[in-house]
Structure 1
Amino acid sequence: MIYLIILGTMSGLCEGAGVLPDGPLNAPVGGTVMFTTTLTPSDGPFTVVFWKFGIKDIIRYDPTASIPHPDYEGRITFFPSTASLELRDLTLDDGGEYAVNIIPGFLQGDTRLDIYEPVSSATVTPPSLDLVEFNSSARLSCSSSGSVTSYVWMNGSSEVTASDRVHLTDGGSNLTVVNVSRYDQGSYRCRVFNPVSDVISDPVIISVSFGPENVKMTVSPSQNLYKEGSDISLTCSAESRPPSLQFFWFLDGEQLSDTGPELRLMNIQTTQSGNYSCQAFHSKTMRYETSQPSSITVLQKISGPHVTPSDLTIEGNPVNLICDASGSPTARKWMKDGSDLIPNDNIALSDNNRVLSFNTVNRENNGDYLCTISNPVSSSEAKYRMDVMYGPENVRITGKDNVTVSEPIKLICSANSTPSATFTWMLNGTVIPANSPEFSKENAELSDGGIYTCEALNYITDRRSSATFELFVHAGSIQPSGLSAGGIAGIAIVCLIITAAAAGGGYYFYRRKSNLNTDAHPMNNTENKENLYEEISAVYENVKAH
């Protein structure tokens, strides 16, 4: 019988392959394992069945008896119909090689049973809390009780896999992330496995400090130019973790005393113009970053506009009109008499339209000039009335030229002049007390007759011009009816000429008759001729006066 069994066993090494499923079988400590054969009740009945653990018998079965090993009393159940075996209350010592031999058929099978303690209480040791991007490494360690066979690390819902920066060591229980970046931060958990159990640790948060970066400065209101006295707000922002940053402000590269994410410029002045920038500092990363500068240009409001001539506007002279104002002028525009001023051969603009130049001013340049001074934040106008100074010219005297004694005298002197001329009066070359355009006298005297001269003077142009007027004053009682004083004087002169001619003619005939030497006669003497003319003139003046 024993021989047959041995022979059957040896034969079953080949023929019985597959009676038990491929192993190993896994079971927890304290658990139950079922060694289920591939046989069915139709394959029986079985004469003899041996179950062994290593070299140790577990149970021997035949139709007359079922004899378990004492170590397995109460822990096993044998199923004769399929030759299967259930093992309960497993311990670590139950792990090993199991085999079954079945007669008839010389069937045999073997498998392996692995016993595991269930894993529990997975714990992750957290890394340093001060992780700085690109400067720090994060090291996590996972520990657990039980029979651990593998570790899996999770960041959120994603599995962490090894790479050039991510290292898994000690069977995966240790996770090291070298030169952490912001993308490595998150909630890390460790999942611990064995074939019969698994457990997940509580999450550990990895926070990576980074920044500052993308430092930006915004200006409100946003514009290129600002009016003096405006209020401007500058705000600095940056990306970082944690978001707590320190901010510093700079003007043209010089640090200001102001700190914080906002710089308020109240009632800003032109002296505050320049390039502003802000700098962010992270106390954990110990890094600085500065924003791009923003230019702030402050302009004064245009005030006090005025147009000033460079010299007196005297006709024929060169003159500049200068347009200026307080503030920050950036543009000027000229108009004349409501129309845009157009330069020509005599008129030119220079110095960014600040100076309007006349080569020579003339009366055609008279008019109302308007200079508009502006900058992008304000504008103002200055007016100038140009009156070109000239003269005097066209001086003339009007009035009655023939009056009798006791009649009023009224002579008016006029002249074209800007500004108005002043007047000086003379009678027969002697200045008389009158300095207005009008010379008047209530009662004429004979001595008021004569040649009147009016001299006009323009004190600005320093030019003079004069006119003469002859006034006749006569006594009304001896004046022939219908004859003027000029007529009477003319009659007297004619009489004198006739008398002189008669005397001269008589003397001429007398000399020829007496045949005297011509040079000895008194009328041929130059001095005697002059005396005669003086006498005739005296007679004329006497007649004229009476």
Structure 2
Amino acid sequence: MMWLEEFRRLSKVFLAIVLIFALQGAHTELLVSAAGPTEVNAVAGRNVTLATPFSGAPDTSVIWLMGDVPVAIWIIDSLTPANIPENHTDVLKIEPNGSLTFVNVPLGYSSNYTVEVTVSGLGKSLATFTLRVFEIIQNVTLSSAKFAVEGADRFTLSYSMLQGVVERQTWFVNGTEINTNSHYSVEKQSLVILRPNRRDAGQYMVSLTNPFSSETAHMNVAVLYGPDDPKLEAHPAQPFYESGDSLNLSCEAEGFPKPTVKWAFGDQTLSESLGQVLNLTNIQTSQGGNYTCTLLNNESKEERHKSIILKVYERPSGSSMCYVQSVNNVTLQYYCRWAGGTPEAQLSFLALSNMSSGAGNFSLTVTATDDLDGKTVTCQAFHPLEQDKCNITASSPVKFLPAVKTTVDADDKIAVTIHCVSEATPQAVVSWSKGGEAVTNGSTYQISTDTTQLKISDYNVTSFHLQNYTCVCSNPLGSQKREFQLRRPSISDFSGLPNQEGTVVRLSWEVPPTSVVTGFDIQMKGPDLVTDNSNDTQTRGSSDKFRTIQHRPGSVRSADIFNLDPKSTYRFRVIPKALMIVGEPSEIHRIGPGEGLSGPAIAGIAAGIPCSLLFLLLLGGFIYLCVYCHKNRSRQTRYPVSRAVEKAITIQPDTIPPHNLLTGGLKSLPDYNRLQQTPSERSVALPSFVPPAPVRVATTV
């Protein structure tokens, strides 16, 4: 800047003058003082001078500084005008005696000023001034938030004015001056009330002054407070309620303005305007819980909450339930549950631990031991209104049989699924091995999520090498092992059941549990079928050899054959297959009246029938004769004669009609003579002189 260059030039001149005086050996003392006060107050827009008269010495230089910045440089009586920065030329002016005049001084020129006077041969002297520029205070007003809120961090009253510079502000409340302390803080253009309370309500005034004017402003401040801590009560007051009871809740609190009340049950708002009383009629268990009343100051937005817990008791639903699970197949975890009820039932397994219990749903983990295998464990369930219990018995796996299911995938490859399940509590976990090596999931073997199934993909059916598979079912209490081999296709338990007309037969069969079967060929030997109108494929053919009439998938265990001739004989069998591998046929099942006969055989049978009848007649006569002779001998009268003969003669006419003797199927009559004989009589033979005729008649009867 040009004035800085001029300042440097004058400084060089000043140094040259000082050097000349120094060489001449002159010695004087220079003193500079203010011609008026050093603290000068001025009204903005008026002229003011900082007076430092100086004269009588040539080449006297004067430098005025505003703070630390030079604002005017001049050599007294010099024809060269003073060097003043361009932004100050309208305001600053150096008088002929070195004083500094401010023309229409603005507010921004309030500052500390220093004058440096340098005289050749006398040295340099300083003088300091303070200039404060004020405006006349006009139109002061107070402003704040609408209300002071009790308990807020702070409440601020601020003043504003049309114009003016304030030298001093003083605050009053209800006529008492306010000083800065822990409750009040007087800040620039404001009064701050820290943590206001209801006692801070009143009239506030601010007084503003400066050397040239003073003004005051007033404002009434209202303090909002509350709601205070609510008082929440139940009527009637009881420790708990039962379903169907009625009661009311009341909620009250002090506050200004009067608080409004809102009610909530849990997280659910009941209503916006229920008032201070909440009526509950015929209360149910679903209404038991936490009730909250919220009191709101609509002006301060201050809220207060109060809660009360209503207990409504109800019996648990149903009965308690128990079960046991395995934890990592090592330990047992017993569970007990009794759902519902208020409060929840307390559950415990006293046989396992008398220190552990739970509410509603309880579990207890214990180490599996032999003592727990088959041991019944009881869960005790306690509720204020009822008690219950349930039992659970853990058991190790039992013996089982594996089951094999065979399917064919889209690539015509066999997939064999082996299913191993053993009854156990908790459910047994199954591990698989083949030939002593563990089986793991991969492209060939896939184990189901519950480990009970092993699927073998792309099973090799060309050779059916015998391979030992093992499945082990285990739980924490023990294990069961089953080793088996997959078998070739085979059939077991083949049977056939025709209908009453003999036109339809249902063939049924079974396969061994470990047999690999993908399908069955149903074969028949016999005459052609009458018709072929079913959906199944039934072919015709000759009757002297088996032919395939149906193809059934591997999952099927029966087949219906229609359109049979009831007068013909058919033979059926089932061929098990695993794709192209054919297993042993089933046993043959025969349906129909029997084998047909040739003509000569029929003629021979016809000729032989009369001969057979004649032979049978002669044979029957011979047998009858033998029987007759035997009876005749066995029924001869024994001693004593007179008694036996008399009885035999009297009984003959009235016992059995003569024509019944020809009935072939009747038994012979009992020997009443022998039944009435004494021991001595039965042991003595008949005398030779007894006439045979009466005896013969009695024997015949």
User: Do the two structures share a fold, i.e. TM-score over 0.5?
Assistant: no
Q: Which has the larger radius of gyration?
A: 1
- Give the TM-score normalised by the residue count of structure 2: 0.23
Query: RCO greater where, 1 or 2, for CA within 8 Å and sep 6 or more?
Result: 1
Higher relative strand content: 1
- Give the TM-score normalised by the residue count of structure 1: 0.29
